[in-house]
Structure 1
């Protein structure tokens, strides 16, 4: 039994996700499209379970798993095989760890793989091509667990309640109460585990914290249904008014759209209620669509809507890797167009041909025996070629991105330099001269984070007489410790450049003031403003840049090297990156060093502290 207007729920979810991935800055909360899908899946699967129990008095777990396998796995494998050859169009960085990505996707563990590797839609230098399959992992975990629980419920009811009608009512009550408890526990877990985080990927990707939309949908299914409906809901359907429910659906979708404009991936409010509200609104849209179906017995659902709903799952599989690849080759609008031109036909082929063929069902379109045989041979040949290309690509995939290699090399060089510095300190101490008796050494001390570390080799060659101490994820308080140690050991040079702020935490301004207060007389202090292409005005890094620009008016020995302004004027340097690192690109190295040198040039015109 196909429910009309459910297609629009699927379309709302797909549109939201695609818009978020294509135009993230314009629609920052579009990730709630996944929660629309989750809620709908929870409702649909549970309602079908209830229908099966009402019809047969049982629930066949293996048959349920088999249906889920044929619906999910073949399109997933096909999408992987089609995408992998396209990676030859872009940098080898995009196939780093490809074998692990594919294994995680097909093994339905992408969500925990991304947690373990620090992956995210929001902050990844080179985004994983299959990061979007995290949602399939959560969905599969739900199907496996929920199917097993339902099988246990039906087994117990069949053995302890012999009245079939009463058993069906008990079954609904158990499902409703259990679903509500699971939904409450999961949403509460997301709320409490999001406390104190700066990167929310852990609670976003985790099955335990993000499964509650499924159970909200399941709760709705226990109260309503598809074929087998409750008495209360049946009376509601009998009095359904198509105009009332049409308006209700439009209103609900409007609220979801506004919520997508409001929510931010990096805001805790998203995890303390935002996603929960999105899931409840999704459940309401499902309820209203079910009622509208009953109110419009003689109205057909638009064929275009049915088509988009049919291919929505496959399109979800294709859109992200295709867009990642195409957006590195051309502008975003053209990349979107290419993604749709390739993704839609592949999705239609998957749903109408490949999936029925693999499942042993009749094709959606009738073809004669000769044509069917030709199609089978062609499909087998193409599949063999795709598998061969994929295996070859996985085998040759590099283990590190250009950024990782740059940071690794920078870290090695820095360790060597620090060993030499330590040697000099020890030798100086054996001469009997204390550091305090020596003049402040000339030159430049650069204290930075991962951005500085990535360009360390170039900086050492192009910033005269410089020493560089940089480390990934360094915050201002850690930079203060480095500065104090160098100052204590008498190796802090006359010009001190602080390249910190991308990882700005609450209290960063206060930590910077400690540096300003505790740096000894005889130094210039050059502050490199942080740059993050994604940063909104209310981000700590943005606030820090504003704060730093005000300091030269109060302290005449402070100079600004405005990296934020320079970097924003060179967006090409950050094309295809996380918007913070430029991954050892020569053009990035050049403008980064130029910015520091300009700051040093300006500092030379100001007095020492």
Structure 2
């Protein structure tokens, strides 16, 4: 027996779980740091259902109608997209600012179902907080649509293979090849390429397809039931529960940018999901347990919920960016809960008045029914007229949003300003070297205040580079976007080996992820005991920021030659000086960053040397609360 076309037990409930994981991950990231795996659960469900439908059609009719297949997919996916794009783009235009950046190419990606590849080509990042893409969540829809376009042809070719185990092995090999390709292409830092790529992230779809082929094969004919099959049948509910538990554990444990996720973690989630689907559709009890009222309700509306949740969140954050500087719990209440309510309302309306009618009657049939009902009632004609006028206004708003969209976010502008300053300093240094090489007798240039300072940092330091250069002429700055503390030891080691490392080292690398004490120990080991070290505290609405700053305070408290530049304390009362992401400073904020570094250097200058461990000679650090300072160690 083929995978049936009727409603399969447990799949709506599993969809509800999947969309819940994704929504919680985006709305309340501290609560479910691995909730992004809900997308992979969707991929397995989609691969299973689509393959099952195609196999069933071939069994029933002896052929597969590709035109009808793609038409059904379009009717399912396109109608809910149209109001989402019109409403969200118009709202973004009314709000203005960073939320409009890149809107044109986002709409091109949405219209062509190529959002993932358009994003990759434009070097957009799924993990970036500096570019609030309004339709970023459409990347996964693009991956599925590309699969729907190609897979029917591949399946027709596979069906020419008469050997069922070979056919199943070939599909499994495709899944494994995609997962291996993801692991090979993965690079630490920003894994957007392997996360977005259809080539690297299709293993879930192929896993679902393989399961459909397996059930199609195992159900055909009156085959004898093996001992293994009988045993699996008895264990089916328990295996389903265990697999579902494994998926939920992964939602708590898998890091969104860690190597574990992309070198086996997501593949494991896909395989566990396949076990859940098998247990649900083959066993009544487990499938019925998944299809509880709430989960089934969410699952039936999961497409709309997934479409709306991200644009709603981005719009609310753009409308009230100050909330991003609040503690995580307050942010969840102020933004997460209203976003959740609006998402459920929009998805419910879409399901009732758009998705179900179009699915049942088609686009033309739905329009005819609407006309018939409107002709019978002036009240309904009024609503239809209002809907038409609203649609025209939204179309105009979307057009205006595209025309007025800025080229880059305010954060990107500040980062670019800093990069230009570093590039100009590098050109000046090269010119000075050439002049010196042409005239050995030339008088040496006067040393600036920054000639003794090497600074290594992330995009926050990069945005502050012009002010650091003005405040410390001659300072050597090595700053880059998305850099974390783990990169510092290697960078400093290379500078030390080349003789470029200066007597004072400033490190500002706490924005992009947690840090370990061992990383700070490595930094100090590289620079040696004869150099002084300034650690810049982090300011960002990130789950790890408090831990980063605590680690920096504890480390600085252990050594006389280590000081804190309290960027966090200095900028916290002046968040209006930050870009729209509430992380990167503009010129005035850059001066505050510079002054926090200067204050740390002044304290280092007034720190007496150690004589027999008489640490009391060192003046208290006014930027480090005494109650948080650990005992000093000589």
- TM-score by structure 2 length? 0.77
The alpha carbon displacement at 1:51 in A equals: 1.1
Query: Does 1:286 pair with 2:277?
Result: yes
Q: Deviations over 1:366-420 (max 9, x none)?
A: 9835257655544433222212111111111000211222122233344445555
Q: Post-superposition shift, 1:86?
A: 2.0
Conserved in 1, the CA contact under 8 Å of 2:305 and 2:343?
Answer: yes
The separation in 1 between residues aligned to 2:305 and 2:179, in whole angstroms, is 28
Instruction: State the secondary structure of the residue aligned to 2:246.
Output: helix
In structure 1, the gaps of 5 or more residues are 158-169
Aligned mates of 1:583, 1:230 — CA distance in 2? 69
Match of 2:461 in 1: 452
Residue of structure 2 in register with 1:395 after alignment: 403
Name the CA shift for 1:420/1:188 in 2 (closer, same or farther; >3 Å): closer
- Counterpart Cα distance in 2 of 1:413 and 1:295: 62
In structure 1, distance between residues paired with 2:424 and 2:290: 73
| 1:315 Cα offset (Å) | 1.1
Question: 2:183 maps to which residue?
Answer: 191
**Within 5 Å, which residues of 2 pair with 1:304-319?**
304-319=294-309
1:17 positional shift:
0.7
Match of 1:559 among 554, 562, 567: 562
What are the superposed Cα offsets for residues 148-198 of structure 1, whole Å, 9 maximum, x if unpaired? Answer: 2224455x58xxxxxxxxxxxx4865653332121122122223333x533
Structure 1 residues 315-372: Cα deviation after superposition (integer angstroms, max 9, x where no partner): 1011011112213425322323322332223223333333434633459999835257
Q: How far apart in 1 are the matches of 2:290 and 2:607?
A: 77
Worse-superposed segment, 5-14 or 110-119: 110-119
Distance change >3 Å, CA 507–CA 337, structure 1 → 2: closer
Query: What does residue range 165-204 of structure 1 map to in structure 2 within 5 Å?
Result: 170=162, 175-194=167-186, 196-204=187-195
Aligned to 2:441: 432
Aligned residue in 2 for 1:7: 12
What is the DSSP-based 3-state SS (H/G/I as helix, E as strand, rest coil) of the residue aligned with 1:59?
coil
Q: Kindly provide the CA deviation profile for residues 464-513 of structure 1, in whole angstroms up to 9, marking residues without a partner as x.
A: 6664635424754446666888969xxx7x86544457689998865664
1:324 to 314, 317, 320: 314
Deviates more, 1:380-389 or 1:367-376: 367-376
Counterpart Cα distance in 1 of 2:369 and 2:241 = 34
Q: Which residue of the other structure, out of 18, 24, 30, is the alignment partner of 1:19? A: 24
Does the C-alpha gap of structure 1 residues 51 and 431 become closer, same or farther in structure 2, counting only changes over 3 Å? Answer: closer
Rounded to whole Å, the distance in 1 between the matches of 2:317 and 2:545 is 26
**Mapped pair 1:359 → 2:363:** yes
Please list the CA deviations of residues 188-225 of structure 1 after superposition, one character each: whole Å capped at 9, or x if unmatched: 2223333x533222222211121111111111112225
Confirm or deny: 8 A CA contact 2:22 2:37 kept in the other structure: yes
Q: Retained in 2: the 8 A contact 1:115–1:202?
A: yes
Q: 1:221 to 1:572 in 2, by over 3 A?
A: farther
The 2-side partners of 1:456 and 1:552 are apart by 27
1:166 equivalent in structure 2: none
Deviation larger for 38-47 or 247-256? 247-256
- Are 1:47 and 2:52 matched, yes or no? yes
Pair 1:276 & 2:283 matched = no
* Residues 1:265 and 1:503: Cα distance change in structure 2 (over 3 Å): closer
Query: Does residue 222 in structure 1 map to residue 213 in structure 2?
Result: yes
From the superposition, tell whether residues 528 and 76 of structure 1 become closer, same or farther in structure 2 (CA, over 3 Å): same
- Is residue 265 of structure 1 aligned with residue 277 of structure 2? no
Partner residue, 1:71:
76
Judged with a 3 Å threshold, the aligned counterparts in structure 2 of structure 1 residues 62 and 233 are, in CA distance, closer, same or farther, namely farther
TM-fit CA distance, 1:8: 0.6
Q: Distance in 2 between matches of 1:5 and 1:496?
A: 58
CA 1:6/1:422 → structure 2, altered by over 3 Å: closer, same or farther?
closer
Mapping 1:487-526, distance limit 5 Å: 497-499=506-508, 510=522, 513-516=525-528, 525-526=533-534
Mark the CA change 1:179 to 1:365 in structure 2 (over 3 Å): closer, same or farther: farther
**Are 2:13 and 2:291, in contact at CA under 8 Å, matched by a contact in 1?**
no
Number of matched pairs: 575
Q: Give the TM-score normalised by the residue count of structure 1.
A: 0.79
Counterpart-to-counterpart distance in 2, 1:300 and 1:258: 17
Q: CA deviation at 1:22?
A: 1.2
Give the equivalent residue in structure 2 for 1:549.
Answer: 556
- Specify which of 127, 132, 136 is matched with residue 132 of structure 2: 127
| 1:87 paired to 2:92 | yes
Matched, 1:100 2:91: no
Report the RMSD for the aligned CA atoms in angstroms. Answer: 4.5
Show the counterpart of 2:334.
334
